[in-house]
Amino acid sequence: MKRIGITIMVSIISSVTFAFDYPELSDPIQQKFLNLYLSDRNDLYKEDFFSPLKTEQEWSCRISRNEQYKLANLLLSKPLVIENELNTQKKSDNTSQDETTITNSNVRIIPMKVECVNGKIMGEVKLRIEYDSLLDQYLKNSPNQTRVISKIHNITLSSGNIKDGALIGTAKSFTKLITQLKIESSQNEEKKEFSNPIITLQMNYKDDIGNTALFSEETDFYLIGGQIKNLKSAFVEIIDKNHTRKTTYKNNYLSMIEPYKNGIPHGDQLGYLVGMDDKIDLIEAALPSSHPKLVTINGINYLETHLCVLEGVEVDQFPCLTDDQNKVHP
């Protein structure tokens, strides 16, 4: 089963904070991260919060560039890609229909608070991380073979406690993304370039087990027109040394549950649609391999769809069985 349709969304942030409907969470790890976000979110809107430092500190320990990256990655929920290293991402079925390339440049890892004990960095660490990214998305399956080019300046303020080269407790990161966006259509060579930069603010958390959470307050713009304000919440939980599970919400609505193995989609990928109760027959006829059904979670009615992925490859299999022949359940 292929995902159908395409929506290009970008995000802007106003200087005014908005109240959202938050997800009702039964998972204690997810609730822990949501509580942290609610206590921290107003800091994102403080004036000059992301302004350049008036005076940059020196590293208290003389560490190499690679060691700076390792230290930053202890705090970040996603690894910082090495400068000028090309990162190519394809669809989960390993086809080249949709492809994204990401290149980082001008990476700066600036110490704001770093203590050196016996030649090692210990205690509370605060870093300012800045870099530029070129994100090139080629959407061959879109109606007009759309290409989206994003030039992004990333400013991240990260903090956490380090002991013996490991994170202790929970690290948090405030991020501001400044994006120049251009959309091209190969069919009629139409181009659309946004003259004003698009600003996105995010909160990221990571605990010392490896569980992570992302909260992004967004105003989504659609190519077909219209906009809506949303809170996107994404939680990645450690199942064991090889397996993780990603759960995504939009506002208070569950959106997706995706199991992974070694960082690759693996198992029954579940999608959730609201307000589609009367469309189940239509979806089942158009996409029989999605095996849609109606479910109720926390008092909300959803249409649940299935996509079986084994080691990153989509397969037409239901129930979705992994290599150990156990059903993958959320």
82-116: buried (b, 16+ CB within 10 Å) or exposed (e) per residue?
Answer: eeeeeeeeebbeeeeebeeebbbeebebbbeebee
In the chain, helix, strand, coil percent, each to 5? Answer: 15, 50, 35
Other Cβ atoms less than 10 A from the Cβ of 124: the count is 12
Least confident of 21-30, 87-96, 101-110, 190-199: 87-96
Percent of the residues in the chain that have a pLDDT greater than 90, as a whole number: 53
pLDDT tens column, 184-232: 776 555 666 667 788 888 999 999 999 999 999 876 655 445 556 788 9
pLDDT tens column, 257-286: 999 999 999 999 999 999 888 888 888 888
- Position 93 scores a pLDDT of 40
Assessment of whether the complete model's pTM goes beyond 0.75: yes
Q: Mean pLDDT over residues 24-44, rounded?
A: 94
- Position 16 scores a pLDDT of 46
Name the more confident of 287 and 196: 287
Token match 């091209």: residue? 184
Least confident of 48-52, 63-67, 75-79, 322-326: 322-326
Name the more confident of 74 and 54: 74
